[in-house]
Structure 1
Amino acid sequence: MNLYSIAKAVVYGVLKPIYRFEVIGKENFPAEGGVLLCSNHIDNLDPPVVGINAPRPVYFMAKEELFSVPVLGKIVPHLNAFPVKRGMSDREALRKGLGILKEGNVLGLFPEGTRSKTGQLGKGLAGAGFFALRSEAHIVPCAIIGPYKAFSKLKVVYGKPIDMKELRERKASAEETTEFIMSEIRKLIEDYS
């Protein structure tokens, strides 16, 4: 058993009684092949919540600063996280993300780039569209429906993979593709709130 599996079991054991997860749509999650998992971002706990409830291991980009924190910096890479420089185009992080998808793994993204202060879905950044267009990965929308309140139910909803054929064929822009992905996340929030 690797550190990721151990951490997943421990974090699940700690968070499940507090937030009483209701996971919807796990059957929509492709069992194999690259998956770009795109979720809204309402709380700092979103990455572990998405990671522990997904049926497959998830890789996440994490802000570069976390990798220089004593002790944490040594653990984070073993939790399937890799560094990204925020506020600029980080070519190395983009290459790493594409590699994860091409190897048939799951890359988790929060297209908004940062946590929503209001809980409302914000505008997505072009990165999600970039990964969706540059890979053959399945694109799975995900909605976390809160609030994060102790002992109340927190929903994690996985939507059906988004059909990207038309966008890929006509070489849509990364921005337009991200907008399309965000509209699918918005539908999940509206349907399950």
Structure 2
Amino acid sequence: MNIFKRIAGHIYFFCALVIFMLTMLVVIIPASIALLFDEPRRAKIIHPTYRIWMSVFLPLVGCPVVRKGKKHFKKGENYVVVVNHNSLVDIPVSTPWIPGPNKTLAKIEMAKTPVFGVIYTAGSILVDRESESSRKESFTKMQQTLKQGLHLCLYPEGTRNKTSEPLQPFFDGAFITAIRAQKAIIPAVIFGTKDILPNKPKLWARPKVIRYHFLEPVPTKGLSMSDRNELKDKVHDLMKQYIIQNA
């Protein structure tokens, strides 16, 4: 990377960060109000709020979101949406742009961040990965979320993909959750976020269009826990092949 591109990327990163923080100060108000309500009312307040926020912020910094496959979300149905995870940019894209109120599973550490922690908490099921009781409780809360008619947004890779592979191996959690609730899985693929905010160099970014594609639902009706690995492998293969063919 030449020196001019590197400097431009650092300048862009800090400008985008300032815009994010300024717009966040507006969103903190409805997020705080939403926390006064129980689910699913909270999600129904917070989802359109975050959607409006990202509809302003992302185009403002040159990263508009183009969606494909919204038709796979049928009226009156809710789903477990599993999304690939390449960058921190995935977080403000994945949940707001799912068609309908939803919750995501998130690390409890981020909830301790001043101001942003309120926004983070309002839209998430928090889990302490170091606590077995917290992990068990998160499974219960995910089932409750689906029973309440909300979508569930999960990253089955567990962490950002810093490898050269299209996808990392998947963990079982999303598939156990979907089978228990007998809810269909919608695989979703986000393109472009790794280019916007790569792992290296640090504090460097660039603008780019983000593509968010929803694939056909994978049913779980009639499946049992013994089918979870086959289901996991099927969804992984669908997403991997789609990434390879459309990157």
Does the alignment reach a TM-score above 0.5? yes
Seen in structure 2, the aligned counterparts of structure 1 residues 158 and 87 have a Cα distance that, compared at 3 Å, is: farther
What is the Cα deviation at residue 173 of structure 1? 4.3
User: Number of aligned pairs?
Assistant: 190
- Give the Å deviation of 1:58: 2.2
Distance 1:100 1:106 in 2: 7
Contact 1:37-1:108 at 8 Å conserved across structures: yes
> TM-score with structure 1 length normalisation?
0.87
Q: CA deviation at 1:174?
A: 3.1
- 1:5 lines up with 2:52 in the alignment: no
Match 1:159 to one of 215, 230, 246 = 215
Q: Shift of residue 158 of structure 1? A: 0.1
1:157 partner letter: H
Unpaired segments ≥5 residues, structure 1? none
Q: Secondary structure at the match of 1:172?
A: helix
Check the 8 A contact 1:67/1:74 in 2, yes or no: yes
> For the Cα contact (< 8 Å) 1:39–1:142, is it kept in 2?
yes
Matched, 1:115 2:151: no
8 Å CA contact retained: 1:21, 1:156: yes
Letter in 1 for 2:210: L
What's the counterpart of residue 148 of structure 1? 195
2:88 is the alignment partner of 1:44: yes
Alpha-carbon deviation of 1:4? Answer: 3.8
The answer for the alignment partner of 2:170 in structure 1 is: 124
Contact map agreement 1:20 1:151 (CA 8 A) in 2: no
Residue matched to 2:5 = none
* Cα separation, 2, equivalents of 1:37 and 1:16: 24
1:6 partner letter: T
Deviation >4 Å, runs of 4+: none
Identity %: 25
Matched residues in 1 for 2:233 and 2:169: separation? 8
Residue 19 (structure 1) shift: 1.8
Considering Cα pairs closer than 8 Å and 6+ residues apart, tell me whether 1 or 2 has the greater RCO: 1
Identify if the C-alpha distance between structure 1 residues 155 and 184 changes in structure 2 by more than 3 Å, giving closer, same or farther.
Answer: same
**Which runs of no fewer than 5 residues in structure 2 stay unpaired?**
1-29, 31-44, 197-205
Measured against aligned partners, the alpha-carbon deviations of 1:27-57 in whole angstroms (never above 9, x if no partner) come to 1123322310001100112122112222112
Mapped partners of 2:107, 2:143: distance in 1: 18
CA offset digits 1:70-118 (Å, max 9, x no partner):
333333232x212112256511111001111122110000000000012
Which residue type is aligned with residue 55 of structure 2?
A: Y
CA distance in 2: counterparts of 1:92 and 1:85, whole angstroms: 10
Residues 31-180 of structure 1 mapped to structure 2, 5 A cutoff: 31-78=75-122, 80-86=123-129, 89=132, 90-118=135-163, 120-146=166-192, 147-149=194-196, 150-165=206-221, 168=223, 171-180=225-234
Q: In the aligned structure 1, how far is the partner of 2:90 from the partner of 2:131?
A: 23
3-state SS of 1:52 partner: coil
TM-score (norm 2): 0.69
Amino acid at match of 2:127: V
The offset of 1:67, in angstroms, is 2.0
CA distance in 2, matches of 1:87, 1:180: 29
- Report the alpha carbon displacement of residue 135 of structure 1 after superposing the two structures with TM: 0.8
Secondary structure in structure 2 of the residue aligned to 1:82: strand
- Conserved? CA contact 2:47–2:102, under 8 Å: no
Distance 1:88 1:162, change over 3 A: farther
- Which protein is bigger by CA-based radius of gyration? 2
